[in-house]
């Protein structure tokens, strides 16, 4: 959520930002917010004036009664009563205006960075850098599900019977590989100085609306029936929610955290669930990075975060690239975002394995996450998040890039201690 002061002082800038995101249907929200804000301020002013007058009039009633001017006192009493009734009406109207204003403000997108490429959707994202040389083996690379099945590492059919489409069982060495990648990623981030956290896997509705837009919520979140609880789509949700309503000691910033969680997603919308495979699914596990910092630090942390993901994938000998997300591909709260994509030898192209975002103060404003600086001033913090690794997609990249001609999968040296010393996963007969 952006600052109402920006809408008051520069509504055209806000409208231009909406146009850059190709959301022209939201342009009217800026004028609506201005109108509602003006109404809210007028109601506050009127209410303050009536409260101040009430004290004066109440005192006047006493003076008139003392002086024996009963008739005049009754007239003043009538005015006090009318003012009290008007105050009740103002308070009710103010609540309604506040709700409408908040709804409008929460739908207006965050101001995007100047260097965000302009484009309507993810097809117009821009490649920024490549890391590692993509390799193409001299044999055909099968579909990832076929590779995993030959390694006796996955059972999708049983999962469809127990849970439906978009779920899977991992077994044997592949299940161990899945856990090994997560554990390695955890240790990798701890070595970078991040604090390891396991957060709640369910959050209240006010946290959900604080960390994402309404559209994202509808397309992603599973609600627990009959309770004000949602299953998290990523640990970022509960990690950021942890600081809701807090004033953090500025000396403790930046907070650098890495969190593990299962993730649950409806995957509604344009992409949907795959009919076959584990690229887009309802349930998976992930290691995440979250940073809460001062505004002047967030650009630097953004660059650090995505580079850590690149470093992790390169340590696993997987070629990757950084893709700058264009304006139309940015969620409403994002100031800037990039994807890290891994090379797919089968498809002969890159695919997304992680996403890094700087949300500036958009989440912090919604959730009242503040800090006290060295001068004692209270300011809004900036929040950032980034995927360390999400094993379903990592597994695809891993088995495709490390598949050998005999159908076995090579294990890079850094992962072998987490795999009991194994250097290869061999197919089962």
CATH number of the domain bearing residue 19? 1.10.287.40
**Are residues 98 and 151 part of one domain?**
no
**Are residues 134 and 86 part of one domain?**
no
pLDDT score of 271: 60
Choose the final residue of a domain: 74, 107, 140: 107
CA distance 89 to 83: 10
CA distance 391 to 353: 9
**Are residues 95 and 142 part of one domain?**
no
Write phi, then psi, for 162 (nearest 5 degrees): -80, -35
Choose the final residue of a domain: 107, 139, 171: 107
Would you say residue 113 lies in a domain? no
Tokens describing residue 64: 């008139």
324, 125 in Cβ contact below 8 A?
yes
Would you say residue 189 lies in a domain? yes
345, 357 in Cβ contact below 8 A?
no
State pTM to two decimals: 0.89
Coil, helix or strand at residue 132: coil
pLDDT score of 65: 73
Would you say residue 45 lies in a domain? yes
**Are residues 228 and 189 part of one domain?**
yes
**Are residues 330 and 220 part of one domain?**
yes
**Are residues 219 and 86 part of one domain?**
no
CA distance 187 to 373: 32
Would you say residue 260 lies in a domain? yes
Would you say residue 112 lies in a domain? no
pLDDT score of 61: 65
Please return the burial class of 313, using the count of CB atoms within 10 Å of its CB with bins 0-12, 13-18 and 19+. Answer: buried
**Are residues 102 and 165 part of one domain?**
no
Q: How many structural domains does the chain have?
A: 2
**Are residues 413 and 388 part of one domain?**
yes
Choose the final residue of a domain: 75, 107, 139: 107
Would you say residue 116 lies in a domain? no
**Are residues 166 and 38 part of one domain?**
no
From residue 398, alpha-carbon distances to 316, 323, 372, 395, 410 in Å are 8, 20, 44, 5, 9
CA distance 11 to 20: 14
Tokens describing residue 44: 């506050």
**Are residues 126 and 27 part of one domain?**
no
To which residue do tokens 């089962």 refer? 428
pLDDT score of 139: 94
Residue 413, domain CATH? 3.30.930.10
**Are residues 130 and 97 part of one domain?**
no
Radius of gyration of the chain measured on its C-alpha atoms: 28
Q: Which domain holds residue 225?
A: 122-425
**Are residues 51 and 130 part of one domain?**
no
What does the pLDDT profile of the chain (429 residues) look like in tens digits? Answer: 899 999 999 999 999 999 999 999 999 999 999 999 999 999 999 888 888 887 777 777 677 677 777 777 777 777 778 888 888 999 999 999 999 999 999 999 999 999 999 999 999 999 999 999 999 999 999 999 999 999 999 999 999 999 998 899 999 999 999 999 999 999 999 999 999 999 999 999 999 988 887 677 777 889 999 999 999 999 999 999 999 999 999 999 999 999 999 999 987 655 656 667 888 889 999 999 999 999 999 999 999 999 999 999 999 999 999 999 999 999 999 999 999 999 999 999 999 999 999 999 999 999 999 999 988 999 999 999 999 999 889 999 999 999 999 999 999 999 999 999 999 999 986
CA distance 235 to 132: 29
Would you say residue 387 lies in a domain? yes
Would you say residue 39 lies in a domain? yes
């Amino acid at each position: 959520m952006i600052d109402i002061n920006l809408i008051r002082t520069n509504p055209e800038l806000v409208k231009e930002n909406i146009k850059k995101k190709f959301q022209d249907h939201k342009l009217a929200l800026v004028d609506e917010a201005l109108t509602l804000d003006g109404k809210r301020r007028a109601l506050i002013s009127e209410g303050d004036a009536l409260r101040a007058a009430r004290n004066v009039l109440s005192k006047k009633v006493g003076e008139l009664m003392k002086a024996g001017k009963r008739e005049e006192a009754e007239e003043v009493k009538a005015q006090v009563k009318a003012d009290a009734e008007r105050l009740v009406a103002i308070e009710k109207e103010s609540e309604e205006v506040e709700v409408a204003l908040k709804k409008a403000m929460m739908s207006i997108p965050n101001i995007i960075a100047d260097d965000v490429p302009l484009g309507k959707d993810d097809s117009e994202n821009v490649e920024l850098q490549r890391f590692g040389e993509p390799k193409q083996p001299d044999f055909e690379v099968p579909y990832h599900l076929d590779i995993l099945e030959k390694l006796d590492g996955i059972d999708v059919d049983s999962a469809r019977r127990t849970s439906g489409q978009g779920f899977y069982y991992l077994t044997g060495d592949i299940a161990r590989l899945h856990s090994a990648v997560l554990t390695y990623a955890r240790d990798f981030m701890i070595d970078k100085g991040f604090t390891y956290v396991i957060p709640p896997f369910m959050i209240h509705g006010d946290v959900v609306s604080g960390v994402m837009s309404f559209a994202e919520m509808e397309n992603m979140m599973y609600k627990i029936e009959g309770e004000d609880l949602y299953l998290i789509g990523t640990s970022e949700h509960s990690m950021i929610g942890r600081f809701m309503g807090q004033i953090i000691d500025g000396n403790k910033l930046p907070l650098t955290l890495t969190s593990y969680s299962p993730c649950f997603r409806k995957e509604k919308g344009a992409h949907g669930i795959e009919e076959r495979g584990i690229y887009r699914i309802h349930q998976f596990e992930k290691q995440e990075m979250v940073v809460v910092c001062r505004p002047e630090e967030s650009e630097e942390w953004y660059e650090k975060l995505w580079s850590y993901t690149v470093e992790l994938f390169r340590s696993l000998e997987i070629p990757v690239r950084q893709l700058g997300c264009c304006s139309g591909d940015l969620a409403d709260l994002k100031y800037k975002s990039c994807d890290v994509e891994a090379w797919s030898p089968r498809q002969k192209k890159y695919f997304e394995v992680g996403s890094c975002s700087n949300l500036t103060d958009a989440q912090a404003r919604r959730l009242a996450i503040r800090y006290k600086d060295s001068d004692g001033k209270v300011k809004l913090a900036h929040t950032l998040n980034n995927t360390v690794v999400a094993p379903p997609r990592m597994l695809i990249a891993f088995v495709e890039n490390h598949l050998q001609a005999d159908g076995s999968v090579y294990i890079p040296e850094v992962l072998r201690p987490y795999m009991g010393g194994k250097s290869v996963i061999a197919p089962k007969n």
